Amino acid sequence: MKLRATLFGAMSRSSSAAPVQVPEQLEPLVKRLADLSDEDREIVIRAAKRRRRTKVELRPVPWDVLWQARGVVAIGGDAVEDTNAIYDDV
């Protein structure tokens, strides 16, 4: 059992000793992550993965489909009137 632990430790040390190219602008982040405990580092990485933005795929829509969608949401209001009300009071 001790031999296995020693081999595993040697393998993990040798793989982590390989040089990794990090862009210069990411160096401060790498230094901060290196200062964290393993547990905290994993928490930060999981949180970052959850916040990763999903890619939005845009596709063309025929004009008649857009025309049918008019009036679905009634936002209302008058932008010019609202702007005048804000800035005329100043």
Which of 39, 40, 41 is CA-nearest to residue 30?
41
pLDDT digits (tens, 9 = 90+) for 27-73: 999 999 999 999 999 999 988 888 887 777 889 999 998 888 887 77
Taking the model in full, what pTM does it have?
0.38
Total of domains in the chain: 1
Task: Find the domain containing 37 and state its range.
Answer: 22-71
Determine what percent of the chain falls in helix, strand and coil, rounding each to the nearest 5: 65, 0, 35
Is residue 65 a part of any domain in this protein?
A: yes
Is residue 10 a part of any domain in this protein?
A: no
Is residue 13 a part of any domain in this protein?
A: no
Is residue 87 a part of any domain in this protein?
A: no
Is residue 88 a part of any domain in this protein?
A: no
Is residue 90 a part of any domain in this protein?
A: no
Vertex 9 angle, CA 8 and 11, to 5° = 65
Vertex 23 angle, CA 21 and 29, to 5° = 105
